[in-house]
Amino acid sequence: MGAVLRSCVNAFVLLLVFGSPAIAQFCSFWSGSCLDALAQTAVSFNFPPLFEESLNLYYGFDANSRGKGQEPMTKVSFWLGYSAHLNNSVINSNRTSEIALRVGNLTGTPSGSNNGCDGVWGAQCSYDLITMLKQALFGLTTSGSYYDDPLDTVLSEMLINQPVLSNCPPPLFDVAAIPSISFAQETDITRVATLQTSGSSSEPWKTWFIDNMTANDQAAQVAVAIISRAPSYNGHPPKYVDDIQLELVCTQAPSSGSSSSSQGS
């Protein structure tokens, strides 16, 4: 009788372990709220003066050889991981920090300055791209016109009216979308910044699908992150272009020298 009881108890425990969604989670390829990564990478970068410690950009993808229309398709996700150690003394205006990720039509080897981007397209392209984006953000935030998230606003316009940068690859803005999200909102009255909760593979910040892309093709793609810190609509307009902060980060998944796993920060 004791052996039978123990068998029943063991079976019940196994049922709890394998049947509990909190313990055994399954992420469907078609779910936009999680990522079961086929390949994933993490790269650290600095974003002072607001963030006193480095931030980690996580980028990964899953693949389906028979996606929509039975053609290959990939699912891409990204998020940031960081500590909450902020330099509140620099909060003197309402500002929004955002990150956008551009993926598609770009291959190369991330290396060198500008967080690996110089090795992809050269130092002059990095300089021209940063300058153009800062000028666009300066123009928007001093225009008096209403806007929500400044980086998202200028990138949306550039996807429609694609700018030409002679020192950069022609298809730089030839992608369907450049998803973005704000991750820090500074308030000058309280001198406090409200942060987006760090993401993970079970709660990525942004997820989208790319048609007609195989896993091998996706692994060759360079993901370009654009990180900005600019005045919010209700903030003080900048006096100078250099009052706008902008960083580039280039990476691949998997990438040599970076961590690759199916878990997030």
DSSP code for 22: T
Return the SS3 of 228.
Answer: strand
Predicted local distance difference test score (pLDDT) of residue 25: 65
Q: What is the token pair recorded at 150?
A: 């400044």
CB neighbour list of residue 37: distance below 8 Å, 6 or more residues apart = 60, 61, 62, 77, 201, 253, 261, 262
Predicted local distance difference test score (pLDDT) of residue 70: 84
Predicted local distance difference test score (pLDDT) of residue 84: 78
Q: What is the token pair recorded at 90?
A: 């620099």
Contact 194/185 with Cβ under 8 angstroms?
yes
Return the SS3 of 4.
Answer: helix
Within 10 angstroms of residue 176's Cβ, the number of other Cβ atoms is 12
Predicted local distance difference test score (pLDDT) of residue 255: 41
Contact 45/54 with Cβ under 8 angstroms?
yes
Return the SS3 of 227.
Answer: strand
Ranges under pLDDT 70 in the chain = 1-25, 255-265
Q: How many helices (H) and strands (E) does the chain have?
A: 5, 9
Nearest to 219 by CA among 249, 251, 188: 251
Element (H, E) at 3: helix 2-19
Whole-number Å distance between alpha carbons of 14 and 133 = 55
φ and ψ of 126, to 5 deg:
-60, -45
Whole-number Å distance between alpha carbons of 140 and 135 = 9
Return the SS3 of 85.
Answer: coil
